[in-house]
A = this chain, B = another copy of it.
Amino acid sequence: MKFDSQPSYSLGQRTPASREVAAGENGGNVTLVSQSALGAINRGRVLQALYDNGPKSRADLARLAGVNRTTITGIVQPMIEDQLLVEGDASPSDVKGGKPARPLYFNPDAPMLGAVLLLPGTIQACLVALTGEIKAVTKAEFDPVGDTEAFIAVMTKTLTATLSEAHQAPFGIGVASAGMIDSDNGTILTVNLAPVLTGLPLVAILQERFSLPVVIDHHPRALLVGDRWFGPGRGQQNFAAVYTGEVLGGAFFIDGKVYRGLAGSGGELGHSVVQIDGALCNCGKHGCWETVAALPWLRKEAARMGLPHPKSITCARLVKEADEGSNAADELLDRYTRNVAFGIVNLQQTLSLNSYVLHGDVAGGGMRAAELIRQHVEQLVVKRPGQEISITVNGIGEGHTALRGAAGLVLSSHLKLVI
C-alpha cells in the first residue's frame, strides 16, 4: 500500500531539511538558525502549545507564548486553510465584556498518525488523530524465533489493514519497540525475547513499503511521549517515564524535549548498578537494578516467602493481598517498592527532574504503590530545600499510552521543536 501524495500541510520540514542536515553532515558542530527554519520552529511551538493546553484562542496563544497576537494569526491562518486546525464556536468568555474568543484545536479530520507497538510476539497497529483519539486498532502475532521474511509479511499486513482505514495519507508512522533500538539509524539492535528482530532495519523497510516518514524508538521513550502528550506529563518541561516489568527501562523529557542520547541509547536504566558484585543479571553483569526491581526478582521472593501462586505474582496482586491483611504481601510490597525506588533515587541524584511517571508492573499497583515508592525515594534522596518529588502512575491503559507515544514520536521528530 502506497500513498501517492503527502498531506498538503507540512508539519515543519518533512524532508531531511536541506541546510541543517547538510551542515551536520559536513562535520560542522555549529548550526545557525536560518530565517525559514525560524518559521517552522515557531509553527511547531504553537502546535506544541495546543497539545499542552488544549483548545485555545489566538489571543490566549499569544499570551502563552508572549508574542504579538498578529504573529499567532499569521501562523495559524494557513493551518486553518489547510484544515489542520479548526475554529471552534465562540465560547462565552470568563472575563466580562469583549468579543468572545474562538478556540482553535486540531481538526479531527486532519491527517492522522500511524502507530505501531512491537513487543516480543505481538504487533499492535492503529491510527492516532491529532486530538489523541485512537482508531482502527489491529493486532497480530508473530513467531519470535521465526523467519525474518515472515515477520515482515505480518507487519506489512497489519499496518496495511490499519492504514487503509485512513481517509487521507497519514503524516507518518511511529514505531515503539521493546529491546535495544538505534533510533538514529532506524534499526532494531536486539530484542532479548525475539531474536527474529535482531538487526532489522525496520525504518528503511517500512519507509520503502509505505512511502511515509517512519520513526522508531524504544518502548519507554514512547511511553514518555504518550505521557507528555495526553498523560500525566502534559505540559511539563522536565520529567521521566519509568517502566518496570520483566525488564526495566526509562526515558527522559529534559528542558522541553525528548532526550535520546547518542544513537538513542539513553535510558537503559535496567543495567545501572545498585549492588556492586550483587546477583547475576541476564546481561552477564552483577547487581544491575533489574536484578532487584523487575518481575523475576518479585517472583523469586514471593516463592521464598511462601506467598500463593508466586509464578504469577504482580504488584497489583500484592497490593490487593496486602489490603486484605496479608503481612507477607505487605512486607514484600514494601521491599519491592523500595528496590524500585533506588533506581529513581539515582535518576534524581543525576538529573534532578523531580517528576516521575510509572508504567508497567508497578503502575498496576496504582496509587498505593506510587505512594510507597515516593516515600522510599524521599527517604533515600539527599534533600534540597524546597524540593518536591512527584511520582505518579499513568492511569490510562498502557497500550494506549504507548501507541499514542509512538504516534507522538513522529510529531516530535518532524515538528522541529528544537533548534
Contacts and interface: CB of A to CB of B under 8 A. Distances in A.
A302 interface: no
A158 interface: no
A64 B31 CA distance: 8
A271 B32 contact: no
Given A29-B235, A276-B275, A352 B266 contact: yes
Contact of A275 (B34, B275, B387): B275
Interface string A242-280: 000000001000101001011101111111111110100
Contact of A28 (B65, B182, B386): B65
Interface in A341-360: 342, 345-347, 349-354
Contacts of A349: 268-272
B238 A23 contact: no
B419 A66 contact: no
A117 to B, nearest CB: 23
A150 interface: no
Given A46-B30, A48-B30, A350-B266, A189 B64 contact: no
A202 interface: no
A41 B418 CA distance: 13
Interface of A: 19-20, 22-23, 26, 28-35, 38, 41-42, 45-46, 48-49, 52, 63-67, 71, 180, 182, 189, 235, 237-238, 250, 254, 256, 259, 261-263, 265-276, 278, 283, 285, 292, 339, 342, 345-347, 349-354, 380-382, 384-387, 419
